[in-house]
Amino acid sequence: MKLSIIPEDRAIVKDGSGLNFSNNLNDYISSSIPSDVHALQWEENSGEIEYVEHGRANESLSVLPDWANECATLHSTTITQLENELAELANTSNTDISE
């Protein structure tokens, strides 16, 4: 899995599919993204956290933090909901056209 989380932009990109949320990401997950995190970048088995503070070194990761796992799940759940809504709209549109 490739994952990017940018809390300030309220953005989650998972495997090339990006979503922006209307509220702070902490509103959607039970864990809390630390306020000093600028971004999390993850690819397959490792990644890093980029911090807001200039000059602070990025932190290498070999395990995703709980909040990042929750963001990945939030992304997947939201994509599934959107796909279901689109399918429902397509079915409704096809019914309207055939009548």
> How far apart (Å, rounded) are the C-alpha atoms in residues 78 and 93?
22
The domain spans of the chain are: 2-98
- Chunked into runs of 10 residues, the chain (99 residues) has average pLDDT values of 97 97 95 97 98 96 98 97 93 66
- Quote the pLDDT of residue 93: 72
- Quote the pLDDT of residue 97: 55
- Within 13 Å of residue 69, how many CA atoms lie on the same side as its CB? 7
- Quote the pLDDT of residue 87: 93
The H or E element containing residue 38 is strand 37-43
- Quote the pLDDT of residue 92: 83
- Quote the pLDDT of residue 1: 96
C-alpha distance from residue 14 to each of 27, 53, 61, 75, 88 (Å): 19, 25, 17, 7, 24
| Helix segments in 1-99, DSSP class H | 66-98
